[in-house]
Homo-oligomer: A and B are copies of this chain.
Amino acid sequence: MSIQNTDIRQHILDTAKPIILGKGFSAVGLNELLNSAEVPKGSFYHYFKSKEYFGEALLDSYFEAYLMRLEILLSAEGMNGAERLMSYWQRWLETQCGDDAETKCMVVKLGGEVSDLSEPMRLALQRGTNHIISRLADGIEEGIADGSLPNDLVAADTALVLYNQWLGATVLTKIWRDQSALESSMCNTERILKHARPLQARSGLW
């Protein structure tokens, strides 16, 4: 019935996550996924319409868990808004340069690969990244409101700029196997959040 159903479906997703975070989407076959999950191959299509929709479900499941952790970090007691934000970036730094596939960033891993390949998966990535950035923007607003961040910060723009920065640094971290890009992002994040000036409209001069 539905409980069992959801359990096994989720079990497939959970088992697949670190494998796909390691090898990517196209490079992994259903056999490998289902052997690891110890679920017979024939069952797969009972739970998922196709590999593509399985990928969409994997991303939805990933972002659901990610956003829950983000929510916990950004609503922690005993810290001001700036500190809560920095704890998120600090965690990002720690997880993305380690060896644990389980905690790697799915946006970095699959963003480039599947956005041109599958519209359902692209849209799942779109929904997920929008939620993350939007929650970060709220976090910045909270920091401005409690006085721990400069009040001339434009929350939505700043959230996007910071997320971009960390995304790019994480790509380079994968390529370099070295956390220097992430450290540079950490410095720059502190700089932006401390010394911010309003993001300006383009001057058109250049």
Contacts and interface: CB of A to CB of B under 8 A. Distances in A.
Q: How many copies does the complex hold?
A: 2
Given A22-B116, A112-B112, A181 B164 contact: yes
A177 B167 CA distance: 17
A24 interface: yes
A180 B164 CA distance: 11
A146 interface: no
Given A26-B26, A168-B165, A171-B111, A181 B160 contact: yes
A101 to B, nearest CB: 8
A164 B168 contact: yes
Interface residues of A, number: 58
Interface stretch (A3-11, A69-77, A102-110): A102-110
Max chain B C-beta neighbours (<10 A), residue from A27, A116, A171: A171
29 contacts: A24-B112, A26-B113, A82-B206, A90-B206, A107-B171, A107-B175, A109-B113, A111-B172, A111-B174, A112-B113, A115-B175, A129-B172, A129-B175, A129-B176, A160-B180, A161-B188, A164-B165, A164-B169, A165-B168, A166-B168, A168-B169, A171-B171, A184-B199, A187-B199, A187-B200, A190-B203, A190-B206, A191-B197, A195-B197
